[in-house]
Structures are given as C-alpha cells and as structure tokens.
A and B are shown apart, each in its own frame.
Chain A
Amino acid sequence: MTHAYGNRSGVRYMTGGLKVYYVPWRPFLMQNTLPTFYGTLPIIRTILIRERISLVHGHQAFSTLCHEALMHARTMGYKVVFTDHSLYGFADVGSIHMNKVLQFTLADVSQAICVSHTSKENTVLRSGLLPEKVFVIPNAVDAAMFKPAPERPSSNDIVIVVISRLVYRKGADLLVEVIPEVCRLHPNIRFIVGGDGPKRVRLEEMREKHSLQDRVEMLGAVPHAHVRSVLISGHIFLNSSLTEAFCIAILEAASCGLLTVSTRVGGVPEVLPDDMIILAEPDPRDMVRAIMKAVSILPRIDPQVMHDRMKKLYSWHDVAKRTEIVYNRALKCSNQNLIERVSRYLSCGAWAGKLFCLVMIIDFLLWRLLQLLQPAGDIEEVPDFILPHQHQESEVLEDFKEQCLG
C-alpha cells in the first residue's frame, strides 16, 4: 500500500500477482504524504480487513504513511515489522524530531529489520529498541540483470563511472575536488557521471574551470533500466557518499565486474569483500590515493569471476527466506491488550511518553467508534485471485465466481 503517484491511483497488479493499492492521498513534500495522524485510519482498516492481512511490514523511517499505518495496525492488534533503510544523525533539529517519531513507532513493534550491522547500531541508538528484536538482512542485487559486458571496453583509457544523485549527502562536493586532481595525475583516465541534482551545477563549473569537457561526460538522470549499460562502459566505479546504510549501487557495480572505490562510511565496509573494493576516508587526498591504487590493480581484475562471486554472495531469494523467518518470529509474538501496550510508551520520555500514550488512546477510541459505525462484518473480503496462465483462464474465472457467491 502506498500513496498515488500522479495518475497512478487505485488498485494495480504487478508481476507475480503482487497487488498494490495506490491510495489517493497527495504527497506534499519529497514523496511524503501530509501527516494526518488519524486520517488514514478508515482506509487502512478497510484494506487490512478486506485482504485478510496477518502482518503489516512498514519501510523507511521518513515515510509518514508508514508510521501512521504501523500505528493503526498496532491499535487494531496486527503484528508489525519495520525495516529501516537509512542512517540518520542525532544532532540537527530535523533528526531529533525524526528520531522521536521513530521511537514512538518502534516502541511497540513486533520485530525490526536493518540492512547492515552499522544500520542496526544506528537504529537501536536512535529508537531505544531492544537489540534482540532487530534482525540484519542486507539488500541483494539482481545478478541476472547486472551482468558484465561480454568484452571489456577496449581503449587505452581507463573509465571511471559515477552514478548517484548529485546531492550533498552523496558526496558530490568531494567529486568536485577529486576529479580534476585525478585527471591531472593520470592523463589516460576519463569519467562518466550519471545522475542529477542540485550539485550538478558545481560539477559543470568544475568541468569548465579545468577544461575537462572531453574527459568528463555528464549523462544527466539515468533511468534504472539503463544503469547497466552505463556501468559496463567503465572499469572502475566511484562512490563518494558521506553516509550510507548499505549502498546497493556498489553491489550493482561489482555484479557488472567493476572494481569499486568508495568512502569508508556507514555500512559500506560490510558490503563487498576486501579484494573487490578499495576504501578511503571521505577526504579528497585519500580518495585520489585510493583511485590510483585501483588503477594499479585493475589488470588483475576479471569481471566474470567477480560477477560469479556476487551471484553466490547476494540473492533476493536468500533475502526473502530470511524475511520469512522474521515474519514467523513476529507472528509468534504474544497479543497484548491496550494497557500493556500503553505502558511501553511511557518509557519513551518525560513529556513524549505521556503524549504518545494520549495519541494511542485516542487512536484506540477512534477505532472503536469506527467499529461501531462500520462493523468488520460489513467489509466484504476480497476473493483470492491467482493470475492465470493461458490455458487456465476459464478455471480461474469459475473459481473466482464460486468464491464471490460464497
């Protein structure tokens, strides 16, 4: 379940029969809907009842819809799992508020998933969640899609590929320092920069200033389907993020057979084996040193061997199996009534604890009111619908009609 994206609203079926509800709530900031607290209770309750849901899994601490859905699901007694995909700070005003909201949501969650051990530490510290409740399941890469080029790009030049959003958080400022220095030290190196963002202007200025137009190619925003074709045109992948919980980009690069140079931040050291990645501090001089080292060991790299290793190390099937274990663990958690749950919120802080308790009690009362106005028996359940293969169409339809008529 998510909010509507432009015209994309209503119910859609994806490959494999995944059903997606695009609820027509308008996003107001950075793909986030307006936090309405209780506004989403009716539609969430309707969807959870009609689809016979057993467990609710929310993603991303920055999603208001996620926090609201998890809160309502807990009120209604469903088991809840939360996955955190990013690292956040502790110092600025935005982070402090975000962490308080996260503390509220995670105070009563059944289980949590983080994408790396660093991310687990970060989440546990921010939210006060018990470490025993947090599982670490790293992301994976689609090795079938990210294959190395059949033949390596055969020029004398060494091509370094950068694909990222050109924002402060992803270290675009570091690139501005590093690229001219590397071009000066090694006349055979070219750069391909894919991605767009507010810092693109700085990179363009850098190109002009050092006359690197023929050595630095700016591609603009690259759609995900074209990322592989950009990656296989290079030899080295450069990632200059200032903070990263996991970094799937370097997984994709390694799967395509590129040697990776990255900043040693967040969960990046956990992602690749030491012979596939060269780490550097987020400092221009250290990054230049790392790039030079990468250039020197490049002849020893075999893209196909790298790809085969990545295929064994990371697979989405493995992630699915591990996630299923988390779901089973969550479902085994005991049911708790309102009093027991409210006592958990009180420990969140002197003022915040009482505020959270109040929010949950009002949510509970609103839920009871909704049960009175629209009893659960009135919401009809959706019949199971399995997408047909060609010859099974009429059987599926008959089955559907039988289920509807009871």
Chain B
Amino acid sequence: MGEFSIANSPYTYINDSDWPSEAVGVHHVVVRKSFLRRLCVPLTAVSLLANSVYLFLVKEQSVSVLCWSFLLTGFLLILSLWKPVYKESVIIMPAFGVQLETHYSSGRIVRSFVPVGKILKPVLLECVTPVTCYWSLSLIVRGEEELMLVFKELHPPLKILVPIWKALCAAIDYRGKPDAFREDG
C-alpha cells in the first residue's frame, strides 16, 4: 500500500496492490480540488445573490446589463461543475486483463476492460498540442489502429505514470510473452 502526492500538482497517487504476491494490482490517481475551483461555488452563490438583489432594488436597467450578469453567473456555475473527474483507476489482473475506470464527482463511473491477450505493450508517450506538451500512458491494442489511453481525462505527471507503467509491463511479461521491456520514444 503506497501513496504519494507531488507538490504543485493536483494529483495524488494511491497504490492498493500487494504485488508481488500475484494478487490484483490497483492504482488510483485522485484529483485534489484546486483552491480556485473551491472558490467557484461560493463565488457563484455570491454572484447569484448580487444579481437578485440588483434586480429587486434597481427598477430600470438595460437588457444588456441583465444578460451580462446572467452570463457571468452561468459561466461561474459551469466552471465549478466542469471536468468533474474525481479519480481514475487502473486495476491490473495479470491472468485476465486490465480494467480502466473513471470516477466522476456526480457518482457516475465509466469502466472499460481490456483482456490481457489483446494488449501488445504499454507505452509512455509525449503528446504535443498547440499550447502544451505532456506525458501520457497508452496501451497498444491488437487489432486497433489507435492507442488506448489509460488515463482518459487526467494528465498525471511522469512520476505517477512510471510505477503504473512498470506494473503494466510486469503484468504483460508475466503472462509469458517473450517481448523485453522497451520504451517507445
């Protein structure tokens, strides 16, 4: 059982497995709610209150001011609810496969299972977007053209991805495939 969080990063890593006793390996990455996001709910409440007071007290106002105030409130509301991922998990069962889970704040859980026979290799890749660059852990799946992302919503840092990648490699290796550990650059 291991847990660590990284300074300056909103992610915490929790390891529930008791490897190497060949039991199931469970890895969680939990999102700590950032300070800004925690402010959003009270800010929304304050702005709604201000809106209603304003409407009540001031009789004449232009339509545009009304619209802008509602838009602002709506925006703050969306910001506080948007990207509601609370946790993403990887459950590694060496003999069967890998289960990927995404837990949302609303309670919804999205799960997907990849049988061990279909996984060719887990790879750590750098993804480049027009504004940023980050590491991602993916699985090369037999028969699929696209890589399957292990963490679909979150972008955990490399320090969190490496132990999970090691565990995935060990699980794949365990089933007796002759491929050596190799990182794709």
Segment at the A interface, from B59-67, B94-102, B129-137:
B129-137
Whether the Cβ atoms of A42 and B126 lie closer than 8 Å is no
Whether the Cβ atoms of B128 and A21 lie closer than 8 Å is yes
Q: Is A37 an interface residue (CB 8 A)?
A: no
Q: Is B8 an interface residue (CB 8 A)?
A: yes
Q: Is A385 an interface residue (CB 8 A)?
A: yes
Q: Is B111 an interface residue (CB 8 A)?
A: no
Which of B122-181 touch A at CB < 8 Å?
A: 125-133, 135, 157-159, 162-163, 166, 180-181
Chain A 368-406, CB-CB to B under 8 Å as 1, else 0, gives 000000010110101101010000011001001100111
Q: Is A221 an interface residue (CB 8 A)?
A: no
Whether the Cβ atoms of B133 and A46 lie closer than 8 Å is yes
Size of the A side of the interface (Cβ < 8 Å), in residues, is: 31
Q: Is A62 an interface residue (CB 8 A)?
A: no
Whether the Cβ atoms of B133 and A404 lie closer than 8 Å is no
- Report A104 CB to chain B, min CB distance, Å: 24
Whether the Cβ atoms of A385 and B158 lie closer than 8 Å is no
Q: Is A9 an interface residue (CB 8 A)?
A: yes
Q: Evaluate whether A405 and B162 lie within 8 angstroms (CB atoms) in the complex, with A385-B185, A397-B181, A397-B183 already known.
A: yes
Q: Evaluate whether A380 and B159 lie within 8 angstroms (CB atoms) in the complex, with A11-B126, A25-B130 already known.
A: yes
Q: Evaluate whether A10 and B185 lie within 8 angstroms (CB atoms) in the complex, with A375-B8, A377-B8, A404-B162 already known.
A: no
Chain A 41-82, CB-CB to B under 8 Å as 1, else 0, gives 011001100100000000000000000000000000000000
Whether the Cβ atoms of B157 and A380 lie closer than 8 Å is yes
**CB-defined contacts of A377 to chain B, threshold 8 Å:** 7-8
Whether the Cβ atoms of B182 and A9 lie closer than 8 Å is no
Minimal Cβ-Cβ distance residue in B for A1: B128
Q: How far is the CA of A42 from the CA of B130 in the complex (A)?
A: 9
**CB-defined contacts of A378 to chain B, threshold 8 Å:** 8-9
Q: How far is the CA of A165 from the CA of B105 in the complex (A)?
A: 60
- Report A123 CB to chain B, min CB distance, Å: 31
Q: How far is the CA of A394 from the CA of B182 in the complex (A)?
A: 8
- Report A52 CB to chain B, min CB distance, Å: 14
Whether the Cβ atoms of A23 and B181 lie closer than 8 Å is no
Minimal Cβ-Cβ distance residue in B for A375: B8
**CB-defined contacts of A383 to chain B, threshold 8 Å:** 158
Q: Give which listed residue, B128, B135, B166, contacts A9 with CB less than 8 A.
A: B128
Q: Is A353 an interface residue (CB 8 A)?
A: no
**Residue of A21, A39, A380, A393 with highest tally of chain B CB at under 10 A:** A380
Q: Give which listed residue, A24, A401, A404, contacts B128 with CB less than 8 A.
A: A24
**CB-defined contacts of A23 to chain B, threshold 8 Å:** 128, 130
- Report A269 CB to chain B, min CB distance, Å: 43
| 12 A-B pairs whose Cβ atoms sit less than 8 Å apart in the complex | A11-B133, A23-B128, A23-B130, A43-B130, A377-B7, A382-B126, A397-B181, A397-B182, A397-B183, A404-B158, A404-B159, A405-B162
Q: Which residues of A are at the interface with B, using a C-beta cutoff of 8 A?
A: 9-11, 13, 21-25, 39, 42-43, 46-47, 50, 375, 377-378, 380, 382-383, 385, 387, 393-394, 397, 400-401, 404-406
Q: Which residues of B are at the interface with A, using a C-beta cutoff of 8 A?
A: 7-9, 125-133, 135, 157-159, 162-163, 166, 180-183, 185
